[in-house]
Structure 1
Amino acid sequence: MASAARSANDPYPTRYVTASLPFDRRHPVVWGEGADGPLSTDEVAAYRRDGFLAFGALLAPEDVARCREELRRIGQDSDLRGSERLAPEPDSAEIRSVFEVHELSEVFARIVHSGALADKARQVLGSDVYVHQTRVNYKAAFDGSKFGWHSDFETWHSEDGMPVPRALSFSVALSANLPVNGPLMIIPGSHRTFVPSVGETPVDYHKLSLLGKNLPAGPADRAAVTDLAERNGIESFTGAPGSAVMFDCNCLHSSSGNVSPFPRTNLFIVYNSVDNPLGRPYAAPKPRPGYLASRNFTPVPQDARRRDR
């Protein structure tokens, strides 16, 4: 657990606090001017204000088809079934998440390294970026479980040692995201408030937290979620395969369980600034494994977009 000296130098104290007292974010949302890149001035301003941007068609239909074929192949991999890279649903044999998919598939690697995504991340984060994490989240028909309200940065700071919120995620739909099958929900503007979590981080906590059940640390304080949602509302993101949402690492977000007969499958890609490398966890006994939090800080190549065209 964090020492007193570490706590005093921690800009985002969490887990070792005795009460969840939200406070204003202490670092920028858009780093630098945010002018050099594919996003317009209005899009950058909207991202700074809301913490997210939605895209109607980020991936072409043929890319979605290739991803879905790869998911079928990965799902049939017996070795992966016995690997910690795969997280099962807590109450069924269905797959909940598969991590580090860009290391399992060249198809996913090309998308993760493409300028269509990485250039937007570079523009907002004001630097070269590396891949902190990739995963595919499945929401199986009838049995897909929920993801409760949380800030990814709270986890990455406390358990991975990410110093400041200079990272972002893409959630890319690989199947239709419908109002009824557990789409992503975000509280607009919540990225400007850090909500600490109360509760110590157990050893190897990721083995429990990836299942999403009865978590002693990490979920956002319900009073804070209620207050922010009452003031700012909640946005729900639906769309066709290939649509996407880019969102700040400190956004409070969640998704409900899927009891519909329509599965929901999304690719998640997390880019972190190369100037924000992971260090020692701020509030955990040891770092999480590399398939959850990469410590390979090699930048995504700037010329990747030319190879993809």
Structure 2
Amino acid sequence: MCLWNNPGNDTTGVLSRTRKLANTSKELLGADVYHYHSKLMMKEAKTGGKFVWHQDYGYWYNFACLYPDMLTVFIAMDKTDQENGCLQILRGSHRCGRLDHGVVAGQNGADLKRVAALEEVLDTVFVELNAGDALFFHSNLLHTSSANVSQRRRWAILSCYNTTHNSPHEKIIHAHYEEPLQLLDNEAVLKTGVNRDLNGKDIVVKTDGNYVHYFS
């Protein structure tokens, strides 16, 4: 996994600045938003591992965000299904508030007893997507994904948006609100095409549990 705070001007940066993504996020959250960070999730064929049940705000709470007024846009780059480890969600779990998180199978996961209780009363949904489909979900939504046991990769870009009133109160890892997002027309992605210009883009790679910053 790698992530970046500054959207930049490459194809991924253009994507996260489109009105379709940013304005939809604003509408869902009911407040102005900024680009918190984006990340590339790469589940390779036969090797992509499982992610335990968690909430994004389970992490972001510890990154100095006071409120869960945040969301993620999961954009499938490949067809995602149960065989190659598609996203699974507990429908309606965002209403439960932030759950305690701790180390679960070597990952930062939600309280297993509470998750098990919620599984008894909420529907588990397998989010099967075609390439180009997107899912918008709240930062308190419980989600997981199984290992990729198929012969196909499962890549996805996740663009995360925070409300401008919820800028982290400490300087930790992800972006603070500084200025309004420079929005682009939805057609800008097609017009840009494959653009690998990483100038000014900060890349954060997680290695052995530590975050390492690379600046271009």
Quick check: 1:196–1:221 contact (8 Å CA) kept in 2? yes
Aligned length: 189
Query: What TM-score do you get using the length of structure 2 for normalisation?
Result: 0.80
What's 2:73 paired with? 170
The unaligned stretches of length 5 or more in structure 2 are: 192-216
1:128-207 equivalent positions in 2, closer than 5 A: 128-158=32-62, 160-197=63-100
What's 1:214 paired with? 106
Query: What TM-score do you get using the length of structure 1 for normalisation?
Result: 0.57
Distance in 1 separating the partners of 2:54 and 2:21: 24
Which digits, 9 at most, give the CA deviation of each residue in 1:44-100, with x for residues without a partner? xxxxxxxxxxxxxxxxxxxxxxxxxxxxxxxxxxxxxxxxxxxxxxxxxxxxx1211
Rate the CA distance shift 1:120–1:198 in 2: closer, same or farther, 3 A.
closer
The unaligned stretches of length 5 or more in structure 1 are: 1-96, 200-208, 281-286
1:1-309 equivalent positions in 2, closer than 5 A: 97-100=1-4, 103=7, 106-158=10-62, 160-197=63-100, 214-215=106-107, 218-280=108-170, 288-289=172-173, 293-301=174-182, 303-305=183-185, 308=188
| 1:306 Cα deviation after fit | 7.2
Amino acid corresponding to residue 154 of structure 2 in structure 1 = R
Percent sequence identity over aligned pairs: 26
| 1:191 Cα deviation after fit | 0.3
Q: Which one has a bigger Cα radius of gyration? A: 1
Rate the CA distance shift 1:174–1:214 in 2: closer, same or farther, 3 A.
same
Which digits, 9 at most, give the CA deviation of each residue in 1:151-194, with x for residues without a partner? 11121012x11111111110000011022000011101100112
Quick check: 1:141–1:261 contact (8 Å CA) kept in 2? yes
Distance in 2 separating the partners of 1:275 and 1:126: 11
User: What is the root-mean-square deviation in Å for CA atoms of aligned residues?
Assistant: 2.2
Distance in 2 separating the partners of 1:259 and 1:101: 31
Which digits, 9 at most, give the CA deviation of each residue in 1:232-255, with x for residues without a partner? 120111121001110001001011
Quick check: 2:75–2:158 contact (8 Å CA) kept in 1? yes
Distance in 1 separating the partners of 2:111 and 2:149: 26
Ranked by relative contact order (alpha carbons within 8 Å, sequence separation 6 or more), the top structure is 2
